[in-house]
Amino acid sequence: ETGVTQSPTHLIKTRGQQVTLRCSSQSGHNTVSWYQQALGQGPQFIFQYYREEENGRGNFPPRFSGLQFPNYSSELNVNALELDDSALYLCASTPGGTGGLETQYFGPGTRLLVL
């Protein structure tokens, strides 16, 4: 059974650029959640996808968008990057559609640095 994987592991971008982060969910899981974790802070919920539809969103602007594919893998896109977007981006998968009610299985994260 393959765990949650994320790519790339590290990324450096400049302000104003766009970035796409990828996540493959654990086998058998149809729900993916994305989190942003700033240094020294706990993760903050960005949004969740269940069976290719967004079914929950945190307090993030529209330039944060996502996608889930038929195989339940997911992408996080961030447009017009700002310095404050520098963080560790985590995705987590669960087998059902109720996100926070289930045990979440996290990937290793993508470290994004915006210069």
| H or E element that contains 84 | none
CB contact at 8 A, 28 and 81: no
In terms of Cα–Cα distance, which of 10, 48, 8 is closest to 31? 48
Q: Hey, which residues between 51 and 110 contact another protein (CB under 8 A)?
A: 56, 58, 88, 90, 92, 98-101, 103-109
CB of 88 to another protein, least distance (A): 7
Query: Binding residue for another protein (CB under 8 A) from 24, 25, 26, 33?
Result: 33
Does 45 interact with another protein (rule: CB under 8 A)? yes
In terms of Cα–Cα distance, which of 60, 62, 64, 78 is closest to 19? 78
Does 40 interact with another protein (rule: CB under 8 A)? yes
Query: Binding residue for another protein (CB under 8 A) from 1, 2, 28, 42?
Result: 42
Cross-strand partners of 92: 33, 106
User: Which one, 16 or 86, has the nearer CB to another protein?
Assistant: 86
Residue 36 φ/ψ, nearest 5 degrees:
-110, 130
Task: List interacting residues with another protein (CB under 8 A).
Answer: 4, 6, 33, 40-45, 48, 56, 58, 88, 90, 92, 98-101, 103-109, 111
